[in-house]
Structure 1
């Protein structure tokens, strides 16, 4: 006779969890800082037309659709051969910081078309370096911990750092830019000073995070060889990169949990990307204060920092899926209320933005903790070896979603008659149509996208019972 017992979960010490969460200083920095200032940098310092500025950011990010699945396949192959994804992450520590700085190093007086080309090439290469880090980083939770609730705790810690990092970059980035302007007397010096500061953080964070595999294995078990039995559930086969890449595309058809989760996250990334890129425009042209962007970020991030661990508590009580629905609903209502800026522009918006922050913590922590569940479920259902491919597709969806959110903003600005500036020639006021476009891109558009994200989210099939399956106890010895 045999009995069943709950599947044992693997936990990590606080120090190892902190090392893993440190990676959000890279993830959030590369999302938040370009999302906040890159289009504004192009339109208001380099005189690039809004539509072209949006195209530059979008097409550089479309590259992620191509490169991320390939990086994911290569990451799986590295893991099979070496039992580690560290080398690829360390390559990102070289490529990302260098080309991030180059992105914001366009010399003063460069013709707008040439400036757009410069930013496009540099940002595309920076995005490639980011992929080298981010794709292995996203698959780590499936390898570091097991169990539905254990992954929620790990990803809740990551989102606490995520929100703190967004505050650092969202508030500190513009502040560093202003310091640079005062030191060097030009916008060129301001943006370059900001980029160098961010790049230094990227390097340190990647070096810390890349050590997490070794630290985790040291407390769980010492692997006798690459892809050891400790990680046997998700260890990938040593297939060619081309085969792995094709497998990554095929899994969109074969894995309904991944397909619905990615569709939800992509749609919500569109909303978040558009709001992030629109923050500076709201501060400058709706509130009439360039420096109000820092206040708006504080109003967004402080509630998010408080809410991030609370979403983990809620998820353990009612499930990640129901919690995710609640977070999405809060975001929808809060974004919709921002249409009031058309009638009464003012600092009352810190209240709905605070609610957006509470919801944002949820729509980050919950799907990120659901992704390793999807990977583990797929390994059990279809066999191991696709963790990096899942992560590559996920990273491509996230980054292109954020980029297309910026594109939507750029299109709205162009249609509504937004006037571009240069460092030498400043626009004193925008037409009412442009103000209307800015407010719509900050309220109605993200609210609509959040409403659309309910469609795939309601079809997500996995629950806790599908992840923490009981395992048979050893059979009693026969007598």
Structure 2
């Protein structure tokens, strides 16, 4: 297979393996930042800096919610960027390295404990979230501009999802161990911040250098304002239903993630190794059951498969309400069941997104991939931000006592009940009911126009098509 000089594409239109691998490395950055703050930042605030649970919930929620506003801005700025590296790659380097440095700064703790430390974390997290938006949005936009071939985008996304799953597993499982190995408290979290920052920098540099031989593609026009974007999405009932369902479910998943440390320490009484074991049980199945979910989706359809996966996720979470009287091995098996449902919920929601984009094109004759993907990314960010906020609010209402020692304080029975319900009942209530919205998810019969359009190589209309996983 030969590659025409200067194109980054082989003669048959496919991309080199080096581009597949290089682009996928960017998921080290997105996976690490998407996982570790949701897993460790809330307990860092409550059990190391001594911040009350309610205030900690706000400090975790607001900077991530800020991304909802920043994402469309980052998209429009990168759309208008012109450079010898293309519109997107400069942001992989600049924003990616800034993201790494700023992430380490979140846990640097220059002011020690107390209110000044809490304000510092909020400012550092806000700056980090802004850098992440300028990395994530251009990164997500690249696949449709690297190639106009649907099958090639699928291969590109397959590499990306594989690295993303690995990044989530490694960052989420190893980060708590680094905290413990570093001596817990402020020192342990400083070492953890440096470890995750190194992962992020590796991912950013890998994506920037790995795509240097790839075609830059053509950036198409997008809707000029957020209001116009919302109007386009609001007119597409399947996308609207899928987006709301995914955002609410993401909040449920993020609530589970935020509660891992608290659940391990207060319910399982295993503050040292418990968080890592729980996280591996939660994420590990994703690496094993993806092929099974693919076959399920092919047999029953993506929408039904998403419903089944969501119910497995919700039922597993609800069953953990009895965790305090169950043997630890049963608890871990239930968490693994939750992980199986989580894997399917993620796969099918992402796989249904490009179907909505194609349906919009078939109905209107216009490509709105950038609009849909920008709103999807913003919605996902909002859902992931709400999870820790919800969990922190539950802790506050149940009387959770904060600590400045690096270890959790002794808790009352109501506080321990709050830890349990925030990890089990609350996520179940967020994950199961939204599947009723999927009754509105009905796509137009295919007309063939979209495939013909893509086959003609109209790359300029394919911008931002994020989720071409299993169409």
Q: Per the alignment, in what secondary structure is the counterpart of residue 324 of structure 1?
A: helix
Deviation at 1:244, TM superposition (A): 4.4
- Given that 1:339 and 1:439 are in contact with CA atoms closer than 8 Å, whether structure 2 keeps it comes out as yes
* Distance of aligned partners of 1:420 and 1:465 in 2 relative to their CA distance in 1, 3 Å threshold: same
- Say which of 213, 222, 237 aligns to 2:221: 237
Residues 175-254 of structure 1: matches in 2 within 5 Å?
175-181=177-183, 187-211=185-209, 215-217=213-215, 227=218, 235-237=219-221, 243-254=224-235
5+ residue gaps, structure 1, are 1-8, 218-222, 228-234, 475-479
Residues 277-288 of structure 1: matches in 2 within 5 Å?
277-288=258-269
Give me the whole-angstrom Cα distance separating, in 1, the residues matched to 2:235 and 2:136: 24
5+ residue gaps, structure 2, are 1-11, 457-471
> What is the CA RMSD across the aligned residues, in angstroms?
3.0
Q: Is 1:310 aligned with 2:292?
A: yes
- Given that 1:80 and 1:237 are in contact with CA atoms closer than 8 Å, whether structure 2 keeps it comes out as no
Partner of 1:378: 360
Partner of 2:438: 457
Give me the whole-angstrom Cα distance separating, in 2, the residues matched to 1:439 and 1:446: 11
Per-residue CA shift, 1:99-144, capped at 9, x if unaligned?
1111111136432x22221111110110011111111222334445
* Distance of aligned partners of 1:15 and 1:50 in 2 relative to their CA distance in 1, 3 Å threshold: same
Partner of 2:133: 131
- Given that 2:71 and 2:137 are in contact with CA atoms closer than 8 Å, whether structure 1 keeps it comes out as yes
Give me the whole-angstrom Cα distance separating, in 1, the residues matched to 2:43 and 2:52: 10
- Say which of 211, 226, 246 aligns to 1:265: 246
Q: Per the alignment, in what secondary structure is the counterpart of residue 94 of structure 1?
A: helix
- Given that 1:272 and 1:405 are in contact with CA atoms closer than 8 Å, whether structure 2 keeps it comes out as yes
Give me the whole-angstrom Cα distance separating, in 2, the residues matched to 1:210 and 1:322: 38
Q: Is 1:437 aligned with 2:439?
A: no
Deviates more, 1:404-413 or 1:139-148: 139-148
- Say which of 351, 356, 364 aligns to 2:333: 351
Per-residue CA shift, 1:178-205, capped at 9, x if unaligned?
2222xxxx62221111111111111111
Deviation at 1:369, TM superposition (A): 2.8
Q: Is 1:43 aligned with 2:55?
A: no
Deviation at 1:267, TM superposition (A): 0.9
* Distance of aligned partners of 1:427 and 1:36 in 2 relative to their CA distance in 1, 3 Å threshold: closer
* Distance of aligned partners of 1:468 and 1:153 in 2 relative to their CA distance in 1, 3 Å threshold: farther
Give me the whole-angstrom Cα distance separating, in 2, the residues matched to 1:150 and 1:362: 23
- Given that 1:65 and 1:400 are in contact with CA atoms closer than 8 Å, whether structure 2 keeps it comes out as yes
- Say which of 28, 35, 46 aligns to 2:31: 28
Deviation at 1:427, TM superposition (A): 5.1
Deviates more, 1:149-158 or 1:443-452: 149-158
Partner of 2:459: none
Give me the whole-angstrom Cα distance separating, in 2, the residues matched to 1:33 and 1:464: 41
Give me the whole-angstrom Cα distance separating, in 2, the residues matched to 1:85 and 1:374: 24
* Distance of aligned partners of 1:159 and 1:211 in 2 relative to their CA distance in 1, 3 Å threshold: same
Partner of 1:52: 55
Residues 316-355 of structure 1: matches in 2 within 5 Å?
316-344=298-326, 346-355=328-337
- Given that 1:244 and 1:389 are in contact with CA atoms closer than 8 Å, whether structure 2 keeps it comes out as no
Deviation at 1:416, TM superposition (A): 0.6
- Given that 1:57 and 1:120 are in contact with CA atoms closer than 8 Å, whether structure 2 keeps it comes out as yes
